[in-house]
């Protein structure tokens, strides 16, 4: 199969021919139909987050099951599926207490006694799998607990973005924030995750949804997806504007960029008793904090990895939201590109002027 391989951090991806192993007992072989370009992938490409090299990235994907292992029960051949990086073991404390997104998924990885999932066809050298998915490839070999079957009426290019951006943004609203209708929300950053957060806040009945982003095109998209107000984060008094327009601050402020300044804006936008939720992947040494007066005001700070999802339940519901016309995935997707244009897609991401680029493998 063809795959986009990262040979070394800071270098362009290279399209190579790779071989993929046969499914083990609990593994699923999937023909990839679409994969979104996520800012998390860019962190690994640029070396902000370490990973063994060479490797194949990509984690926001949808496809069709080609073959299943002998013990697979979750999906079957021919199923349309969405993958999710928060693979769960089903047995640990996090799983059995309903916090599946926190599971480290140790039991979903290949054992040392099994052959590697990916190898270079030319010389048989191992190519590392990223996040147990590696979706920048024509096929994926993953654990059955890293995918879920969906309604076959769902277009697979739209389904792909549910696997990360939408489940993170929407899950934050539904699961981590448990938004009550009428509460106010500020979303800092209007990329794929931020736009999904805004859309979900509208679905959940938020009273006011304030979108903050420095780019006018993204602010316009936010209005299209449900924002009631927009703020330019380049304004020095952006936090003050949010506090004034909400008469004291918002109930929920969600950071969807991964920058310390964005997190500080989220915290500064809170009302007494409000909660700031940090979604963006910041450099590992960075810190986000509440002041003593924030604590005395009952403000809270939390993370929500992958939207605190329970993806075998959440993803089919999000698909249903799209098919019913509630979830607008079409506006989130800026372009559809072939695998060969993947580096150009990441260049556009770095420029910051569009939402999601999605690789479509069968175009």
Q: Which two structure tokens, joined as six digits, stand for 140?
A: 């994926």
The verdict on whether 38 is a catalytic residue reads: yes
Task: Return d(Cα 214, Cα 231) in angstroms, integer.
Answer: 8
Q: For 154-183, write each residue's pLDDT tens digit.
A: 999 999 999 999 999 999 999 999 999 999
Catalytic residue among 26, 43, 145, 252: 43
Query: Quick check: helix, strand or coil at residue 24?
Result: coil
Q: Is pLDDT above 70 for 363?
A: no
Q: Please check whether residue 348 is in contact with residue 354, taking contact to mean a CB–CB distance below 8 angstroms.
A: yes
The verdict on whether 147 is a catalytic residue reads: no
Least confident window among 88-92, 167-171, 351-355 = 351-355
Q: For 134-160, write each residue's pLDDT tens digit.
A: 999 999 999 999 999 999 999 999 999
The verdict on whether 143 is a catalytic residue reads: no
Q: Is pLDDT above 90 for 111?
A: no
Question: Residue 85's closest CA among 68, 95, 100, 70?
Answer: 100
The verdict on whether 59 is a catalytic residue reads: yes
Task: Return d(Cα 176, Cα 185) in angstroms, integer.
Answer: 13
Q: Which two structure tokens, joined as six digits, stand for 319?
A: 């698909």
Catalytic residue among 40, 262, 354, 357: 40
Residue 17 main-chain phi, psi, to 5 deg: -90, 125
State the pLDDT at residue 354. 66
Question: Residue 88's closest CA among 280, 320, 307, 309?
Answer: 309
Count how many Cα atoms sit within 13 Å of the Cα of residue 127 in the half-sphere of its side chain: 30
Catalytic residue among 26, 59, 80, 252: 59
Question: Is the sign of the CA dihedral 74, 317, 129, 335 positive or negative?
Answer: positive
Q: For 227-241, write each residue's pLDDT tens digit.
A: 999 999 999 999 999
Which element (helix H / strand E) includes 254? Answer: strand 250-255
Q: For 262-316, write each residue's pLDDT tens digit.
A: 999 999 999 999 999 999 988 888 999 999 999 999 999 999 999 999 999 999 9
Q: How many other CB atoms are found less than 10 A from the CB of residue 44?
A: 19
State the pLDDT at residue 70. 97
The verdict on whether 91 is a catalytic residue reads: no
Catalytic residue among 55, 95, 147, 164: 164
Count how many Cα atoms sit within 13 Å of the Cα of residue 317 in the half-sphere of its side chain: 12
How far the first Cα of the chain sits from its last, in Å, is 16
Which residues make Cβ contacts (< 8 Å) with residue 121, sequence separation at least 6?
16, 17, 18, 19
Which residues make Cβ contacts (< 8 Å) with residue 19, sequence separation at least 6?
1, 118, 119, 120, 121, 124
Distances 321 to 226, 314, 316 between C-alpha atoms, Å:
15, 11, 9
Q: Please check whether residue 54 is in contact with residue 7, taking contact to mean a CB–CB distance below 8 angstroms.
A: yes
Q: Please check whether residue 302 is in contact with residue 275, taking contact to mean a CB–CB distance below 8 angstroms.
A: yes
């Amino acid at each position: 199969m063809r795959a986009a391989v990262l040979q070394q951090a800071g270098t362009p991806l290279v399209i190579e021919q790779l071989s993929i192993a046969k499914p083990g007992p609990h593994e699923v072989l999937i023909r990839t139909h679409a994969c979104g370009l996520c800012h998390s992938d860019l962190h690994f490409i640029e070396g902000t987050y370490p990973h063994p090299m060479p490797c194949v990235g990509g984690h926001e994907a949808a496809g069709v099951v080609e073959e299943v292992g002998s013990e697979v029960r979750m999906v079957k051949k021919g199923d349309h599926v969405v993958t999710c990086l928060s693979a769960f073991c089903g047995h640990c404390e996090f799983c059995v207490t309903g916090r599946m997104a926190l599971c480290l998924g140790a039991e979903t990885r290949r054992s040392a006694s099994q052959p590697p999932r990916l190898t270079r066809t030319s010389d048989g050298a191992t190519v590392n799998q990223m996040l147990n998915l590696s979706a920048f490839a024509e096929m994926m070999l993953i654990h059955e607990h890293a995918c879920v079957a969906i309604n076959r009426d769902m277009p697979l290019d739209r389904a792909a973005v549910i696997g990360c951006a939408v489940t993170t943004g929407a899950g934050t609203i539904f699961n981590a924030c448990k938004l009550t209708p009428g509460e106010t929300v500020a979303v800092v950053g209007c990329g794929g995750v931020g736009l999904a957060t805004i859309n979900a806040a509208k679905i959940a009945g938020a009273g006011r949804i304030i979108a903050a982003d420095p780019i006018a095109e993204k602010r316009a998209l936010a209005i299209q997806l449900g924002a009631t107000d927009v703020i330019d984060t380049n304004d020095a008094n952006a936090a003050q504007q949010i506090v004034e327009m909400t008469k004291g601050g918002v109930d929920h402020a969600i950071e969807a960029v991964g920058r310390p300044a964005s997190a500080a804006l989220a915290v500064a936008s809170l009302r007494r008793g409000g909660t700031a939720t940090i979604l963006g992947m910041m450099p590992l040494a960075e810190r986000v904090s509440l002041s003593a007066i924030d604590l005395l005001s009952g403000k809270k700070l939390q993370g929500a990895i992958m939207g605190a999802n329970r993806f075998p339940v959440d993803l089919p519901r999000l698909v249903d939201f799209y098919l019913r016309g509630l979830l607008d995935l079409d506006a989130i997707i800026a372009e559809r590109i072939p695998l060969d244009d993947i580096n150009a897609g990441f260049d556009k991401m770095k420029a910051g002027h569009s939402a999601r680029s999605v690789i479509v493998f069968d175009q």
